Amino acid sequence: MLSLQFRLLTCAVLMAMLVLPVYAHEPLRDYELLRAQMITREQSQAVGGSIKLSPLEQKANAVITQAKQVEWDRYPQLPSLHFFDAKPLIQKSPLFDMLVRMPKGGALHVHSDSNVPLEWVIANATYDDALYMCGEFGLGIQLKFFDTEPGSEECPTSWQSVAALRRSAGNSSFDTQLLGELTLYGTGEPYPTLDAVWAKFNHILVAAAGLVFYEPFHYIYLKHHFELMKADGVQHVELRQVFQKGIGNTYAANGTEFSPQHTVNHIVQAAAEVGVSVQIIYCMVRTILPEEVGAGLRAAEEMMQDYPGVVVGFDLVGQEDIGNPLSAYINQLLNATTPFFFHAGETDRAWGASDVNLFDALLLNASRVGHGYGLARHPELKKQVLQRNTCIEVCPISNQVLKLVGDLRDHPLVSFVSEGLPLTVSPDDGGVWGASGVTYDWFQFFVASGNQTGLPMLKQLALNSLTLSALSDAEKEKHVVRWEKSWGLYVAWLAQQ
């Protein structure tokens, strides 16, 4: 007969066998619970983290995240490629088609003279016998229309008839060379340095201005631009337009130069005809003297009074690294009453003058910051951006083509999204690098942002583009209502794919 001691010991062992596994698993369960809670907290802080999807939106989210997963699993991922190489692959992606159809609200960082495909510009503006060219391909050119054969004015050599040059070279050959002068197209990374690509970029803007701002063509150009935006799901556009020493003014072949108001009227009328709303940010180039900025601010304020709700603020444009910092104009800017929409931090030079522009932009209460690429280096400024709800206008493809970042997965947009900064997505000067419209930027942004972002982030970005626009509160409300109707139709379509 077993002793009482033995029976008690046996019972203790059996109890231990039953209890120990339970205790052994509790640390793992606790760990997994804490891990899930940490991930949930971080995801809730990200852009779109507070968006609650309806059942239909959840179905649509499953569709678009599955399409995104295909891109996430692709090797190499398209955001890792230079845009010139990624573009044809993006166009074939089912995800791109889904994003083309998406109502995107507004495009808030768009330059007025550089967002139409240059192939279209060449086909529609350069087969005119009144067009002349100064310079040579590869060495720099100017283009301008004259009603009589021009002399040597504004050209150190002599103006040559484009029609005669085209006949001599052949249409196809001439147009190919002209396209090379007016775009940054290439394969891989054709420009060795940031300064080199900016030099070509600036040359393009000067050369193309003679086409874009020719009076008979300017309205046609603007109308086509707005048609492209509307077809790409954009209902509101905010154009940055330079008005300075003749820049931004349309001209006639007889030499007549029209007023800045004439340009504004063209913009307003073209947008109305297409059916999109438009606002204009009055810009000057950041290489000018302080007194010129002062005069420009006064002109901008007068134009805001003449065009209330249309002309909405002021900005300084051009390559930040070689231009004057905002602090060079601080006396003029402090005395201005115009809202500011400053380019700032469009640089890879930490704590250089262009990087410090971010501090001045916030101290000057900029409504939005264009690019803000350097913001990732400044934790205190990021806190300020969140507290002030200062919109950061992210232009991913521009930042890649202009050599701030090689792989878009390394773009600070990834951290901006996870930290929940108030962001929008814009094309900047997309026509110059073959990304007209806005969907290419949305595609690269969406894929680069990580494999956990989905429809909530896309929805928040679209809403941001309206609620963080320069529209009045009443106009914002109208636009959001209009957008929600389009969004509902889009979600219903997407859920069925």
Could you tell me the CA-to-CA distances from 248 to 213, 251, 283, 368, 432 in Å, in that order? 7, 10, 10, 23, 17
Active site residues: 346, 371
Peptide bond into 427 cis (omega under 30): no
Position 55, amino acid: P
Please give the full DSSP string across 109-159, using - where no structure is assigned: EEETTS-S-HHHHHHHHS--TTEEEEEETTTEEEEEE-SS---STT-SS--
3-state secondary structure of 408: helix
Q: Name 490's Cβ contacts closer than 8 Å, sequence gap at least 6.
A: 60, 101, 102, 103
**d(Cα 332, Cα 293) in Å, to the nearest integer?**
7
**d(Cα 182, Cα 142) in Å, to the nearest integer?**
10
DSSP lists the bridge partners of residue 251 as 214, 257
Both tokens assigned to 203: 């040359």
Give CA 381 to chain center in angstroms: 21
- End-to-end Cα distance, the chain: 75
Name the strand (E) or helix (H) holding 169. Answer: helix 162-169
Q: How crowded is the C-beta side of 293, counted as CA atoms within 13 Å?
A: 24
DSSP lists the bridge partners of residue 55 as none
**Nearest 5°: CA angle at 264, between 290 and 360?**
35
Please give the full DSSP string across 269-336, using - where no structure is assigned: HHHHHHT-EEEEEEEEETTS-HHHHHHHHHHHHHHHHHSTTTEEEEEEES-TTTS--GGGGHHHHHT-
Could you tell me the CA-to-CA distances from 133 to 124, 162, 181, 203, 249 in Å, in that order? 16, 6, 12, 14, 20
Do 144 and 210 form a contact (C-beta atoms < 8 A)?
A: yes
Please give the full DSSP string across 10-73, using - where no structure is assigned: HHHHHHHHHHHHHHHHHHHHHHHHHHHHHHHHHHHHSTTTT----HHHHHHHHHHHHHHHHHHH
Do 231 and 223 form a contact (C-beta atoms < 8 A)?
A: no
